[in-house]
Chain A
Amino acid sequence: ETGVTQTPRHLVMGMTNKKSLKCEQHLGHNAMYWYKQSAKKPLELMFVYSLEERVENNSVPSRFSPECPNSSHLFLHLHTLQPEDSALYLCASSQELAGVYNEQFFGPGTRLTVL
């Protein structure tokens, strides 16, 4: 595997389900990110981790719970979601959080549908 991978690629879940999205980066980067991309809306930054520490939580509802067990893996745990949470969830990583090595590399995304 190379780059940033995400699983699953597609997920359909009911409002009472619990599921998790997984992201893995094979680039040796120190920072990882979760974004939400809804139709007709700009990319929304959800969470940021740097060296496994959460740097930012952009007023995301508690039904989304991130986890970063190590610098290569990032999870997004989902529970009691709403239909408006249906979106493409993108994971990204960068070598550093800021500075000259901050370009982010993205995974293919998980297309989430909440029924």
Chain B
Amino acid sequence: AQKVTQAQTEISVVEKEDVTLDCVYETRDTTYYLFWYKQPPSGELVFLIRRNSFDEQNEISGRYSWNFQKSTSSFNFTITASQVVDSAVYFCALSEATTDSWGKLQFGAGTQVVVTP
């Protein structure tokens, strides 16, 4: 079963618009980690953020912000004032702490963000 759902396949925006990427996860663990990665056209996945399940405080880093809500099992990502360089595929991932999964990353299908000038 898919543990991480990124329902948006592609989002197209014009530069300077805000864009929010949705991520819904599923786990029975009380301890887990959530991640966001960016994959630009060059192919390399770039680590953006890790959040543990006990820290629901929202985080802002420059134009990036993350909204973690355990009540809805969501970890959404917002890019404010988007730029062309933000064009990439963005992946949400879950790492569970159970013995069987040893913390491996379970990725969503990704959301393609296209920012046009």
Whether a CB of chain B sits under 8 angstroms from the CB of A32 is no
Among A59-67, A75-83, A106-114, the one that faces the other chain is A106-114
Give Cα A106–Cα B104 distance, bound, in whole angstroms: 14
Interface residues on B, range: 20 to 34
Give Cα A92–Cα B108 distance, bound, in whole angstroms: 17
Residues of A near B43 (CB, < 8 A) are: 88, 90, 108-109, 111
Q: Is the CB of B103 within 8 A of A102?
A: yes
Residues of A near B104 (CB, < 8 A) are: 45, 48, 56
Interface of B toward A, CB cutoff 8 Å: 33, 35, 37, 42-47, 50, 52, 91, 95, 97, 102-105, 107-110
Whether a CB of chain B sits under 8 angstroms from the CB of A103 is yes
Candidate in A56, A102, A111 with the most chain B CB atoms within 10 angstroms: A102
Beta-carbon nearest neighbor of A41 in chain B: B109
Interface of A toward B, CB cutoff 8 Å: 42-43, 45, 48, 55-56, 88, 90, 92, 97-100, 102-109, 111
* Minimum CB–CB distance for B48 against chain A, Å: 10
Tell which of A55, A56, A102, A107 touches B44, judged by Cβ atoms closer than 8 Å.
A107
* Minimum CB–CB distance for B38 against chain A, Å: 10
